[in-house]
Amino acid sequence: MTGRGTDSKIRLENVSKRFRDGTVAVDNVSLDIQAGELLAIVGPSGCGKTTTLRIVSGLERADTGRVYFDGVDVTDVPAEKRNVGVVFQSYALFPNMTVVENIEYGLRIRRVPPAQRRERAGQLMEMLKIAGLAHRRPSQLSGGQQQRVALARALVIEPAVLLLDEPLTALDAKLRDELRVELQRVLKRLGITALYVTHDQAEAMCIGDRIAVMNQGRMVQIDVPTNIYRRPATAFVAGFIGTTNMARGHLAAEGGRLYVDVGYARFPVPSTTKGPGEELTVLFRPEDVSLAAPGQEHFRGRIENIFFLGDKVRVFVRTFTGEEVIADLPSESRVERSTDYPFQVDAAKLYSWAEETA
């Protein structure tokens, strides 16, 4: 291995990949992942996230750009020599082997002595709560148990980097929630640097120290989850991460303050370099909308649908201009369908763009 990059654990520099049919899967991506960090890559199907992971692993070769591990250029290093652990959605366990044999497999082909193999496998099985399953075969395990075995098999080789490609997609919702917590706990305890690919926005928000949002082969925004949610860089990020109300209107000045008139409401504008008459897009989340206190009304609307979600009531409001606004109200709210109500938006939570962004 030759060449030096930065001191990041993983670094991609201007990486691109085009397939034979002309599809640009990865488009000039640069990315740094720090030691011990769990970076979640999220985006719609076909955005390039799995191809990016495969380039990091060495299973796919980039057309242009470089890949560094610990500052060392591994672009030309084959996958089997990169010391990378990979966990797939399909588990990919050997059906003819027991749990402990599956976990030890990577150590066995590396010629690690049997006693050392058993010790390392045993430690991981205890950590992942599958010690009692050591002598079962994959067909005797639940989906969650199989995924724990696949994770133990990837970790037992003590990889420099762990790559996870949609590892929880095949599991039911409750089990996914449990394994997210378990996975994060184990990775932090071991100090593993990990790249986690998912199309599930909530999963990315829960598990990632930072999130990289991809679209059409590009990294659109890389940031901590709170900034991705509250300060999305583009309209695409705002629409993809969480539920979003977006409205476009024209700026107007009144009493020394700027407002954006979106037709059904006039909202006070967050900081902007634009002036009166110019267009602006504003974002607000459902939890930023509430029933209006006297004198605080921003708009009126008729509730068309109500969904009780336990800790909140999600209502779909039709404004007099025909726009739909989604609001999350306290679960004890007494509201009825086909009834008009006044609403207000938390002005401190409004976010805006000076122009439409992709």
Query: What's the confidence (pLDDT) of residue 172?
Result: 82
62 has pLDDT over 90: yes
- Burial of 213 per CB tally in 10 Å (0-12, 13-18, 19+): buried
Q: What is the DSSP string of 316-358?
A: EEEETTS-EEEEEEETT----TT-EEEEEE-GGG-EEESS---
Query: What's the confidence (pLDDT) of residue 270?
Result: 67
More confident residue, 271 or 223: 223
C-alpha distances out from residue 171 to 174, 179, 231, Å: 8, 9, 31
pTM of the model: 0.86
Q: Which of 80-94, 214-228, 328-342 comes out lowest in average pLDDT? A: 80-94
Query: What's the confidence (pLDDT) of residue 253?
Result: 85
Q: For residue range 21-33, what is the model confidence (pLDDT) as tens digits?
A: 989 999 999 999 9
Q: For residue range 297-337, what is the model confidence (pLDDT) as tens digits?
A: 999 999 999 999 999 999 999 999 999 999 999 999 999 99
Mean pLDDT across 272-298? 88
Return the number of other C-beta atoms located less than 10 Å from residue 234's C-beta. Answer: 16
Pairing of strands 257-261, 245-254: antiparallel
Report for 166-170, 201-205, 321-325: range of highest mean pLDDT: 321-325
**Edge-to-edge order in the sheet of strand 351-353:** 266-268, 257-261, 245-254, 279-284, 351-353
- Here the tokens at position 237 are 């990020």
Mean pLDDT across 161-190? 86
Q: For residue range 137-149, what is the model confidence (pLDDT) as tens digits?
A: 999 999 889 988 9
- Please state, in angstroms and rounded to a whole number, the distance separating the CA atoms of residues 164 and 171: 15
Find where tokens 């949002």 sit: 213
Residues 277 and 249 sit within 8 Å (Cβ to Cβ): no
Helix, strand, coil % in the chain, rounded to nearest 5 = 30, 35, 40
Mean pLDDT across 130-155? 92
Residues 317 and 303 sit within 8 Å (Cβ to Cβ): yes
Question: Which of 18, 43, 1 is closest to 213 using CA atoms?
Answer: 43
343 has pLDDT over 70: yes
- Please state, in angstroms and rounded to a whole number, the distance separating the CA atoms of residues 187 and 265: 47
Cα dihedral value 81, 82, 87, 88, nearest 10? -70
Confidence band of 235 (pLDDT split at 50, 70, 90):
confident
